[in-house]
Structure formats: structure tokens, C-alpha cells
């Protein structure tokens, strides 16, 4: 374990990802440093990542990341302890693998609508901002999974509100200055806008007593072990958490996938051939979607190189010790998937985009060497949903469109709440006939 002197907050505030990557490269697997007044330990060995992520009572959610509470409340991403366990048991089953049969039709329908719009843009020879298009599409997919089509009229407002709220949050996590009241007020307004839409839909559904085939219906009727359901405020926290966690992540993974594919035209042809062979011009059914092996490999490999959730922070609740690492109560532990996913020794040619490393014979160096969805009890509850969605969207786009990058050179990542491209990703679309 290496101890670094000084306060590293100003450095991380300027360049959080680059600073952590350099720390890992220059000082080894365990680096201890101070962040403001917080003792912080960056662990970059998969064994240590496993120790931290699989002990949710000792290593909880909290610390600087609590700035997200006004938005996410006691939703699954933020809550801890008994509360988290109760809610995870109530919500988890609705997103399990065998629930995907229920969710795939709406996912495919929404993707078809957006691909139709992109085909029109291609015919009119318009250039497209790919990251904006992927964000709109994944937001629409998850809001419809949650609320059915009741929310269609509000999608634009929700998209805007998330964009405003997220830019403030990302800045506050690493902030060294006092909160700016005007910016804070804009953030509060964005949260109010989200609340108006989400609470409005929850109350309307409760009042109507109508049963529908969406996740809100499941949440409204879920009961804990004592037969108690969720209050409107709890439903609001879960809904906003699922909307946030469920769209920006997938949108970034898709945008990075196209960026990486842009450098390998032969892979785009392979993706298109597979997509067309499995019904992706119209849209696949569940069985066909599960046969989209290459699309799945591309999606996984892009999340290796650019994990949408690039940092997993935890707060120690008690003194503990593992493998030479001494932890005090109140220490922050940082697990960085970006570092693990590119670590020499864990991967062959780690910087190379090679989807086939996730082929049937894939053999990870360690189960925690690849953690785009986290690990342990708090693993992403939406992982089956997003793996299905990623495959379906990549394949349906490839089946009908050629996506040609308009930029040269490397696209740098911007580590906000999620890892997004630093600049717009402008592309030219050509209809595949």
C-alpha cells in the first residue's frame, strides 16, 4: 500500500479519471490519499474489488456521492441496509432474466420508431449527433418499460431535466468551491420538473386503479414480507433511479460501440449480416434477440474499454483489514472498472477492441476483472434489460443503416456520473438497401 501526501481533491476535480488511472499505474494496486478531509483508498486489484463489493454491510453507499440524494432519494442506487434489502427484493424480480419476454416487444417497437426516424434523416442526408440520438432512444425505451405510453408526451421534458440535473451533480461530486446559489436553484428546478412528471403519473395511475403491463404496475402492487406496499414518495425515488440508471449508461455504451466499430468496417458488416439473418429489419422477437451473439460481444467489449459507470465508491462503516489493506471506519474505498478493464496482466492486448474475446470460450482472469455492472449483492438490477437492449439496438441500427463517423482521431472520454464522449459524436447515416 502506497500513501500519497497532500490533498488530491483539486487534482481529481480537474481530471478525476486521468488522475486515478495515473495513481494506479504509478503507485500500484493499493493507493491511499486524502480527498478534502476524507481518507480514500483506490484499489486496483480484482481480488480487492471483490472484497469491497461483496461486503455491503462493511462498505456502504455514501460519502461525496450523497449529493445525488435530492434527485435519487432512497432509490436502490443510494439506499443501504434493511431498507435497500427490502426494496431490492421487491423490485429485483420485475427485471430478472425471465421477465425480458414481457419487456422485449416494447423495446423493439420503440427502437423501430427511432430507427425509422434515423432512416428518414439518412434519406435527407442530414448528419446526426449520435450520442444525443442514443440518449433519446434509451430514455424512451426505459420510460416506456416503466410507465407504458402514458409518459410519451413528457419524454422531452424528462430528457431536459436529467441533462440539467446531471451536469450540476457531476460538478458537485468533486467540487472544491462553495455551492453557487444560482446553479443550485437551476438544479432544484430540474428536480421539481422531474417530480412533477413522475409523481403526476404515479398519482394518476393510483387514482385510476387501472392495471397495465408495465413496471409501474409491478411497483404499485409490490408488497414486502409484512404485506406493506411502497408509498408514492418511495415509488418516485425508485422510478427516477431506474430512469436515470437505465438510460445514460446504455446510451453511452451504444455510442462508444459505434465509435469503436467505426474503426473496424469489417465488423460493421458482420454485425449487419447477423442482424439481417435474425429478423432485425422489422425487429427481433426474444428468441431471435438471444441469437445476436456478435452484437452482444460488441456491446460487452465496448463496456470493457469504456465502462459507463467508471467508478464504484464505498464508505467503510467499521475498521477492517484485507490482504494487507488496513481500512478505518469512515474511509472511502474506490473501485475503478476503467482501470481493471484495461489492466495489463488481466487482458491480452488490453487497449485493443476485440469483441471476440467475449466469445463462447471466454475465460476471465478473475471474476472481478470485468465489472461493468458492478459485483456482489449490489450488482446492477437492470443488467439483463440493458444487455438485451444493447444487442437489439445495435442490431436494428446495423440492419438498416450504415453509420459513418465524421470525426478523425481519438475520442476522449468525459467522466461525469457516467463515462461519456467528451465531444459530440457526429455521424453520417446511409440507408442500407
Give residues in contact with ligand HEM (CB under 6 A): 76-77, 88, 142, 241-242, 245-246, 249-250, 253, 303, 308-309, 312, 372-374, 378, 380-382, 385-386
CB of 122 to ligand HEM, least distance (A): 26
Give 225-233's long-range contacts (Cβ < 8 A, gap of 24+): 225/86, 225/89, 230/87, 230/90, 232/199, 232/202, 232/203, 232/206, 233/73
Closer of 241 and 255 to ligand HEM (Cβ)? 241
Q: Shortest Cβ contact with ligand HEM: which residue?
A: 382
CB of 313 to ligand HEM, least distance (A): 7
Q: Give the sheet arrangement for strand 2-7, strand by strand.
A: 2-7, 30-35, 38-43, 332-335, 312-316, 59-60
Closer of 198 and 303 to ligand HEM (Cβ)? 303
Closer of 341 and 432 to ligand HEM (Cβ)? 341
CB of 416 to ligand HEM, least distance (A): 14
Task: Give the other-Cβ count within 10 Å of 243's Cβ.
Answer: 23
**Cα four-point dihedral sign 142, 144, 148, 150:** positive
Provide φ and ψ at 297, rounded to 5°: -65, -40
Closer of 300 and 357 to ligand HEM (Cβ)? 300
CB of 200 to ligand HEM, least distance (A): 21
Q: Are strands 38-43 and 419-421 parallel, antiparallel or unpaired?
A: unpaired
**Which grid coordinates are listed for 433?**
438497401
Cβ partners under 8 Å of residue 286, min gap 6: 100, 101, 104
CB of 178 to ligand HEM, least distance (A): 27
Closer of 63 and 382 to ligand HEM (Cβ)? 382
Closer of 90 and 122 to ligand HEM (Cβ)? 90
CB of 374 to ligand HEM, least distance (A): 3
Cβ partners under 8 Å of residue 200, min gap 6: none
Amino acid at each position: 500500500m502506497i500513501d500519497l501526501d497532500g490533498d488530491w481533491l483539486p487534482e481529481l476535480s480537474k481530471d478525476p479519471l486521468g488522475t486515478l488511472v495515473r495513481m494506479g499505474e504509478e503507485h500500484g494496486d493499493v493507493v491511499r490519499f486524502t480527498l478534502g478531509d476524507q481518507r480514500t483508498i483506490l484499489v486496483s486489484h480484482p481480488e480487492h474489488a471483490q472484497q469491497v463489493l461483496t461486503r455491503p454491510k462493511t462498505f456502504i453507499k455514501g460519502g461525496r456521492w450523497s449529493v445525488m440524494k435530492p434527485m435519487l432519494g432512497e432509490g436502490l442506487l443510494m439506499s443501504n441496509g434493511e431498507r435497500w434489502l427490502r426494496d431490492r427484493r421487491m423490485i429485483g424480480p420485475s427485471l430478472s432474466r425471465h421477465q425480458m419476454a414481457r419487456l422485449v416487444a416494447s423495446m423493439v417497437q420503440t427502437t423501430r420508431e427511432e430507427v425509422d426516424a434515423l432512416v428518414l434523416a439518412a434519406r435527407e442526408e442530414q448528419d446526426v449527433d449520435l450520442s444525443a440520438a442514443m440518449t433519446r432512444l434509451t430514455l424512451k425505451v426505459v420510460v416506456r418499460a416503466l410507465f407504458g405510453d402514458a409518459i410519451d408526451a413528457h419524454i422531452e421534458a424528462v430528457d431536459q431535466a436529467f441533462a440539467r440535473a446531471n451536469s450540476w451533480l457531476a460538478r458537485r461530486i468533486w467540487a472544491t468551491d462553495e455551492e453557487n446559489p444560482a446553479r443550485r436553484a437551476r438544479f432544484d428546478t430540474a428536480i421539481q420538473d422531474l417530480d412533477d412528471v413522475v409523481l403526476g403519473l404515479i398519482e394518476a395511475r393510483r387514482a385510476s386503479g387501472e392495471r397495465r403491463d408495465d413496471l409501474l404496475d409491478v411497483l404499485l402492487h409490490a408488497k414486502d414480507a409484512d404485506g406493506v406496499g411502497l408509498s408514492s414518495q418511495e415509488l418516485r425515488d425508485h422510478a427516477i433511479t431506474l430512469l436515470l440508471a437505465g438510460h445514460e449508461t446504455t446510451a453511452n455504451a451504444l455510442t462508444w460501440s459505434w465509435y469503436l466499430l467505426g474503426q473496424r468496417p469489417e465488423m460493421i458488416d458482420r454485425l449487419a449480416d447477423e442482424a439481417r439473418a435474425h429478423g432485425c429489419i422489422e425487429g427481433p422477437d426474444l428468441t431471435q434477440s438471444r441469437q445476436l451473439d456478435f452484437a452482444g460481444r460488441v456491446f460487452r467489449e465496448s463496456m470493457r474499454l469504456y465502462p459507463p459507470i467508471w467508478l464504484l465508491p464505498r464508505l467503510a462503516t467499521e475498521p477492517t483489514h484485507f490482504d494487507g489493506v488496513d481500512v478505518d471506519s469512515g474511509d472511502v474505498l474506490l473501485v475503478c472498472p476503467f482501470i481493471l478493464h484495461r489492466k495489463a496482466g488481466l487482458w491480452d492486448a488490453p487497449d485493443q477492441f476485440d469483441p471476440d474475446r467475449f466469445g463462447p470460450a471466454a475465460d476471465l482472469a478473475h471474476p472481478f476483472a470485468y465489472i461493468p455492472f458492478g459485483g456482489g449483492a449490489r450488482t446492477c438490477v437492470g443488467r439483463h434489460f440493458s444487455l438485451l437492449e444493447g444487442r437489439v439496438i445495435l442490431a436494428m441500427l446495423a440492419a438498416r443503416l450504415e453509420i459513418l463517423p465524421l470525426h478523425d482521431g481519438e475520442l476522449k472520454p468525459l467522466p461525469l456520473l457516467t463515462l461519456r464522449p467528451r465531444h459530440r459524436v457526429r455521424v453520417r447515416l446511409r440507408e442500407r438497401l
